[in-house]
Amino acid sequence: MLEEDELKPYIGGILKQLLARYSIDSLMVFNFEGGKKNNQTARIFSGYNMSAMGYPRNYEGCPLLTLEMIHHFLRSSESWLSLSQDNYLLIHSEYGGWPVLAFALAALLVYLRRCKDERKALEMIHKYAPPGLVELYSPLDPAPSHLRYLKYVSRRHKSPELWPPADRTLNLNCAIIRTVPNFDGEGGCRPIFRIYGPDPLAPHDSSAKVLFSTPKTDDFVQLYTQEDSEIIKINIRCPVRGDVVMECVSVDEDFKHEVMVFRVMFSTAFVEDNLLLLDRDQIDILWDTKHRFPVDFRVELYTY
């Protein structure tokens, strides 16, 4: 983490080395910046007559890009690299941006058919960073959602003319959890669900909002235990469209303290048969909580 007065000489030193070997016209610059309006890194690049395309470091807490931004990054990269063998991509992430940068590079490998296996593509990129860097910057393991979106990118090879698919509005009816996770130390949890995404009723506004949140009252929140409950059903009944983040937390009996149970990011364009099934390995969870989930744990999202 560099202070502002340290950042300019640090990046400037790297750019001077690069420009001693490569033409400034051969570099396309991307910066995962967190959406700052007056970005210092972008100003440093502009001082070298280089404009940086900015991308956010996360989407509602997930270190991922929306499908539209993924498409923009991939098309821009492919177009630039195909113009000349002497063209290069220069990609920079600001503090905390490594997880989404790693995803973006893995997506590029899959998109360009340099790697057919999505998991291997992600692992290949992670080898270029010190071990534990993703854990340092992301409290949850983002690999399940990363792999889900890498599979979305792979779908392009089957029907490139239909990718990316158009967003479609779905009505998220309910979520069913099969087998109760242990988040109270006694084999139970008090789940609260939150849904984030663009408002389907405001199609010209793509910014994410809270679309649903379980009220913190006794009427809506109750304790489920592994001994007494086989399933947990949460009624949601809200429309969703495009890139959606679903978050489940467990609260204590006073509703004051929350602990993250799991988080999932998905695109409604790829939900098939009005059903999304997720097992224990397909949800983003805290790095040290896998033992809290039964082996046969599953989340079912029903839409219509």
304 residues of the chain, pLDDT tens digit each: 777 788 889 999 999 999 999 999 999 999 998 665 568 888 889 889 998 999 999 999 999 999 999 999 999 999 999 999 999 999 999 888 999 999 999 999 999 999 999 999 999 999 999 989 999 999 999 999 999 999 999 999 988 888 989 899 999 999 999 999 999 999 999 999 999 999 999 988 989 999 999 999 999 999 999 999 999 999 999 999 999 999 999 999 999 999 999 999 999 999 999 999 999 999 999 999 999 999 999 999 999 9
Residue 18 is encoded by which pair of tokens?
A: 């690069």
Cα gap 235→177, rounded to integer Å: 12
Cα gap 106→6, rounded to integer Å: 30
Q: What is the pLDDT of residue 159?
A: 87
Q: What is the pLDDT of residue 115?
A: 95
Please provide the CATH number assigned to the domain covering 4-158. 3.90.190.10
CATH 3.30.420.40 fits 170-303, yes or no: no
CB of 167 closer than 8 Å to CB of 203: no
Q: What is the pLDDT of residue 37?
A: 59
Cα gap 169→21, rounded to integer Å: 49
End-to-end CA gap in the chain: 46
Cα gap 238→171, rounded to integer Å: 6
DSSP single-letter state for residue 166: P
Cα gap 216→127, rounded to integer Å: 43
Q: What is the pLDDT of residue 33?
A: 85
Q: What are the φ/ψ torsions at residue 198 (nearest 5 degrees)? A: -70, 150
Cα gap 88→27, rounded to integer Å: 5
Q: DSSP string of 41-62?
A: HHHHHHTTT--EEEE-S-BTTB
Helix axes 98-111, 143-154, angle to 10 degrees: 20
CA dihedral for 162, 164, 168, 174, sign (positive or negative): positive
Cα gap 137→123, rounded to integer Å: 17
Q: Which residues, at least 6 apart from 215, have a Cβ–Cβ distance to it below 8 Å?
A: 221
Q: What is the pLDDT of residue 127?
A: 95
CB of 122 closer than 8 Å to CB of 102: yes
Structural domain spans, the chain = 4-158, 170-303
Longest dimension (CA), the chain: 69
pTM, rounded to two decimals: 0.94
CB of 246 closer than 8 Å to CB of 208: no
Helices assigned H by DSSP within the chain: 4-21, 40-46, 67-83, 98-111, 118-126, 133-137, 143-154
CB of 259 closer than 8 Å to CB of 250: yes
Whose tokens are 């996360």? That residue is: 58
